[in-house]
Structure 1
Amino acid sequence: MRTRYYSTMSALAVLFLFPLLWSGWSSFDGGVGNYTEMARFGEGVGTYLTNSALVSAMTVAGTLVISALGGYAFARFDFPGKNLLFLTTLAILMVPYATILIPLYVLLGYIGLQNSLVGLSLVFVMFQLPFALFMMRNAFEAIPRELEEAALIDGCGTFRAFSRILLRAVRPALITVGLFAFLASWNDFFAPLILLNDGASFTLPVAVVSMTQRTFGAVDYGMLQAGVMVMAVPCLILFIVLQRHYVRGFMSGALRG
């Protein structure tokens, strides 16, 4: 039985890793020339990496702050319209992603954040909030109220109990939410394509698609695979490092509803 289990898991691992290994092999087709050409394209791959890193960092920070505070409020406090507000936030999931990017582009123009990495990160935060609030609300609800009450009796205020005790208790859920926000913002192509129009502000996915286009619509697949590897490596490293916390985020009551 154990042999069959390990054989099945090994076969699945090879199946899932094959596309990544194939991309890595293809990216070195003809040597390191694909990476050299990619590094020299446009503003330089360092600029696009920096843009993607800044957008992802702002998205993760904004998502964590809002979802932690909002999840705590939904889990611990009663206020008028609480359920309606929560359902309205979840309703964002039912809106087709592509249909509201143009209205958001116009809105960002009104507030002076058009063609801005900050504006792009705010859009990403908005799209992450339904999942993030759902996760954090359920994570806080899984914590016994007696833990918070004991902290209040010992002299902690509400905010101090929240920041010193409860946030530590929901750390796996926070890491899960942060990882999802990073992956969504790092890999997204469509929103940066619509909301950014300056080449110096492009994120890595937009730059990779732009740099692989050749004459008469031909695609440079070697450079495309090199771009895919540059985009994939940070995601793989983060997932491997945070895998233990990620699994705990789902298994320790974060999906109780």
Structure 2
Amino acid sequence: MKALPKDFLYRRNREKWIMWLILGFMAFLWGLPLFAAIARGFAFNGVQNFIDVMFNDIGGISLGRTYINTLVIALMHAFFVVVVSALAGYGFYIFEFRLKTVAYFVVLVFLAVPATSILVPLFFITRELGLRDNYLAVALPEAALTLPFGVLLVRNFAEEIPRSLIEAAAIDGAGHPRIWREIFLPICKPALINIGALSMMWSSQDFLFPSLFFSSPEMTTAAQAVLRFREYLGATPDDIGRYNASLVLLAVPALLIVVFGLRFITNGLTSGGVKE
């Protein structure tokens, strides 16, 4: 075995410290707007700015209501994506049919479809279905755009499932519903939790679809409220402090989803990546 250079450990420690310095500097740059908003949120009236925004409506918009709207849409989005991705991933893994590869690639092509390209048809479809100011008007288009990624993730994860396990269950008399429920779902749980967490995170940050389909102040989401609060706050020094306080509080749902979902996202992306 070739001996390690004498300065090997020194170089490793130096590289580690350089990496930490770079990551720390990037984290500082990304966190600087948030730190600035927090500092300006205490301007003039201190904590009272946060209390006023939390417990008083601003232009008919309640901060608590924006939290509820954001959470409901995120949960619906995640539910649709997880269920359909699990069913589609199972179908692409289990069944053999003509043009299977073509169908899979057609699904993947929709990963490249931008949301802006389907705004006009979505607007007319939503109007005809009477879904304006309805949670489904936002949750369904979000789910449709996320589904290709969900199918890709679950299908690739399912490739790690031994075929012998599925065949043994079929020999024992288990049908597809039971195999999907009792074998496929438990094994693919990391991937499904991953796509669910990502769906909630992406939904909580969506500004485009809520702005297009919601007109009632009661349906305002946290991402929308950032702009709408600007229309009512900012004219006076007191309002500027309250506006920055509102920015900090409106970021809470997305931050919580990221903080609590990061572990599942990381585990879901790495699980199944190596065969044992």
TM-score strictly above 0.5: yes
1:15 aligns with 2:26: yes
Q: Which amino acid aligns with 2:53?
A: M
How far 1:102 moved relative to its partner? 2.2
1:164, distance to aligned residue in structure 2 (A): 1.7
**How far apart, CA to CA, are the structure 2 residues paired with 1:111 and 1:102?**
14
Match of 1:38 among 39, 53, 57: 53
Instruction: Map 1:76-225 onto structure 2 (within 5 A).
Output: 76-214=94-232, 222-225=241-244
Match among 235, 251, 257 for residue 232 of structure 1: 251
- 2:49 maps to a residue whose letter is N
CA-CA distance at 1:159 after TM superposition: 1.7
CA distances 1:36-80 after superposition (whole Å, capped 9, x unpaired): 343321231111111111111110111110111111111221223
Please give the alpha-carbon distance, in whole angstroms, between the structure 2 residues aligned to 1:255 and 1:138: 12
Instruction: Check 1:201–1:7 CA distance in 2 against 1; reply closer, same or farther (3 A cut).
Output: same
Please tell me the residue identity of whatever aligns with 1:49: Y
**CA separation of 1:104 and 1:218: change in aligned 2, threshold 3 A:** farther
Is the CA contact (8 Å cut-off) linking 2:93 and 2:158 kept in structure 1? Answer: yes
Q: How much is the aligned-residue C-alpha RMSD, in angstroms?
A: 2.8
Q: How far off its partner does 1:255 sit?
A: 11
Cα 1:250–1:36 change in 2 (3 A) is same
When Rg is computed on C-alpha atoms for both structures, the one with the higher figure is 2
Q: 1:8 to 1:157 in 2, by over 3 A?
A: same
2:259 and 2:211 map into 1 onto residues whose CA distance is: 29
Q: Is the 8 A contact 1:102 1:194 kept in 2?
A: no
Shift of 1:10: 5.3
Task: Give the count of matched residue pairs.
Answer: 256
Greater Cα shift, 13-22 or 103-112: 13-22
How many angstroms apart in 1 are the aligned matches of 2:234 and 2:49?
A: 20
Say yes or no: does 1:248 pair with 2:267.
yes
1:25 corresponds to: 39
What is the deviation of 1:3? 5.5
Quote the offset at 1:84 in angstroms. 3.1
User: CA offset at residue 150 of structure 1?
Assistant: 2.7
**Aligned-partner Cα distance in 2 for 1:248–1:186:** 21
CA gap of 1:151–1:202, structure 2 versus 1, over 3 A, is same
- Which 5+ residue runs of structure 2 have no aligned equivalent? 1-11
Deviation at 1:215, TM superposition (A): 8.1
Shift of the alpha carbon at 1:7?
A: 5.3
Give 1:180's aligned amino acid.
L
Q: Which moved more, 1:245-254 or 1:57-66?
A: 245-254
Deviates more, 1:179-188 or 1:14-23: 14-23
- What is the CA–CA distance in structure 2 between the aligned matches of 1:106 and 1:145, rounded to whole Å? 45
Aligned-partner Cα distance in 1 for 2:154–2:25: 34
Shift, 1:14, TM fit: 5.2
User: Aligned partner of 2:190: which letter?
Assistant: P
Under a length normalisation based on structure 2, what TM-score does the superposition of the two structures give?
0.81
Contact 1:173 1:254 in 2 (8 A): no
CA contact (8 A) 1:212 1:221 kept: no
Q: Distance in 2 between matches of 1:201 and 1:47?
A: 8
